[in-house]
A and B are shown apart, each in its own frame.
Chain A
Amino acid sequence: MSRFPPQVTRLQTPRGPVDIQSFCPPEMIGPLDFDPSLKRYTAYKPLLSDKEALLAAASNEEQNVTLACTEAGGIVGVALLEYPSKEERWTRVGERIMMEVAVIEVGAAWRSAGIAREMLRALVDHPLKENRIFYMVGYSWTWDLEGTGLTAIRYREMLIGLFSAFGFRTFQTNEPNVLLRPENLFMARIGGQVPEAVQKRFKWVRFDMDRYMEDTGWKGA
């Protein structure tokens, strides 16, 4: 489980108070239930809507499971900062350097109340944030365009606005899934203590050039 202590912030919303809690330990998640607005229905499939996955994520040291909960114990928002799995290219940047904002989701009935922003704030307020590169990938096929009424490009702009407020910037990458659609998005926040050599490697990995650089011994521009 996480070695960092949970932090709680109370947010007043038109539908009542919501507690934003970061570094949720498994024992805290156990008694909670997903609010119906975060459950799957025909036109909307939340990325993370079963407690098993949440508990597994919360069991990992250094990862951050942040939840938005009602006073009644209903989960209305989920956010997850985790290390990428071994097969993902981002692990090539270095051991435990990259952390992905893998999920940030608010139930349809609870949107437009600032919950996502507060969850993201709690998520990236991580003790190791200056030593890590946090990143997010936005695939438009996972976005609730119908629920929000936004076009894909407007949804993209909304995400850029949300993440930019916490130091994320858009970066180009030739990661094939990102390139599948022009509105797909890759953003990252490079911590202030991340060494220059790691930043350079991050650039090479974004373009899948790290192996070429290693093979040729070329140091790049």
Chain B
Amino acid sequence: MTASSGPRASIDQKYPKEILLPDGREVLIRPPGKADAEGLLGLFQRLPLIERWCFGENPCERGVVEGWIDRHLEGRTFGILALCEDEVVGFGTILRPGYGGRRHTSTLQLAVLPTFRKLGLCTWMTLDLIRRAMEFDIETLRADLVMGLENDVIEALGQCAFVERCVVEDGFRCPDGMCYVTVVMTRTLYPTWGDF
């Protein structure tokens, strides 16, 4: 399946999406393409080191970012970029397990530049990823977040009806050895309305 045919093409037709932030700035949301590696690297290079540490791979390595884009184009993940005046200011992704007992679930990850936080952008991106997850027949979205470091994302997910399922003491260790609590949040994606 190429990026320009089949289900991926029908999803790509839904973009770009225009968001107006409360401070008047306009942001476009769209999926990434091969040419976006540089912009994505720029985003992560401007994130605080401690936030980059929240990712499982070093997002400042070109090969890592290119790998993420490839996985999106192959349909193993679904990603979106947030762009303001052609600059990548946010990135969000949901993983799509292709095999096994977790195929009905997906893990969500978000990164937004500090200067674009507290403006609802995380919420818009989350809402968009929720819609895509529903289209992929995902039943539960999950996010693993570090309390104290990813509070903006935790707040955004809470506004999008994610609930805290559990916390893991010392689930995250900083380069200096300091440990943080991680929180697992989930949202059930109901396919229809209940009878209540």
On whether the beta carbons of A152 and B191 are closer than 8 Å, the reply is yes
Contacts of A174 in B (CB 8 A): 120
Contacts of A34 in B (CB 8 A): none
Contacts of A151 in B (CB 8 A): 134, 191-192
On whether the beta carbons of B18 and A203 are closer than 8 Å, the reply is yes
Binary CB contact string for chain A from 142 to 154 against chain B (1 if under 8 A, 0 otherwise)? 0001100001110
On whether the beta carbons of B135 and A170 are closer than 8 Å, the reply is no
Size category of the B interface is 20 to 34
Question: When chains A and B are docked, how far (Å) is the Cα of A209 from the Cα of B24?
Answer: 8
Which stretch in A20-28, A44-52, A94-102, A213-221 binds the other chain?
Answer: A213-221
On whether the beta carbons of B26 and A221 are closer than 8 Å, the reply is yes
On whether the beta carbons of B19 and A172 are closer than 8 Å, the reply is yes
Assess A183 versus B24: contact at CB under 8 Å? Given A152-B192, A153-B191, A172-B19. no
On whether the beta carbons of A183 and B20 are closer than 8 Å, the reply is no
On whether the beta carbons of B131 and A140 are closer than 8 Å, the reply is no
Contacts of A209 in B (CB 8 A): 20, 22, 24
Least Cβ–Cβ distance between B147 and chain A, in angstroms: 25
Contacts of B24 in A (CB 8 A): 209, 212-213, 218, 220-221
Chain B residues 146-188 with CB under 8 Å of chain A are none
Partner among B14, B17, B131 whose Cβ is within 8 Å of the Cβ of A183: B131
A207 proximal to B (CB < 8 A): yes
A175 proximal to B (CB < 8 A): no
Binary CB contact string for chain A from 6 to 36 against chain B (1 if under 8 A, 0 otherwise)? 0000000000000000000000000000000
Residue in B closest to A141 when the chains form the complex, CB atoms? B193
Q: Which of A140, A153, A204: most chain B CB closer than 10 A? A: A153
On whether the beta carbons of A203 and B20 are closer than 8 Å, the reply is yes
Least Cβ–Cβ distance between A169 and chain B, in angstroms: 9
B80 proximal to A (CB < 8 A): no
- On A, residues with C-beta under 8 Å from B are 140-141, 145-146, 151-153, 157, 160, 170-172, 174, 179, 182-183, 203-204, 206-207, 209, 212-213, 218, 220-221
Q: List 12 A-B contacts (CB under 8 A).
A: A140-B193, A146-B192, A151-B134, A151-B192, A174-B120, A182-B127, A183-B134, A207-B19, A212-B24, A213-B24, A220-B24, A221-B26
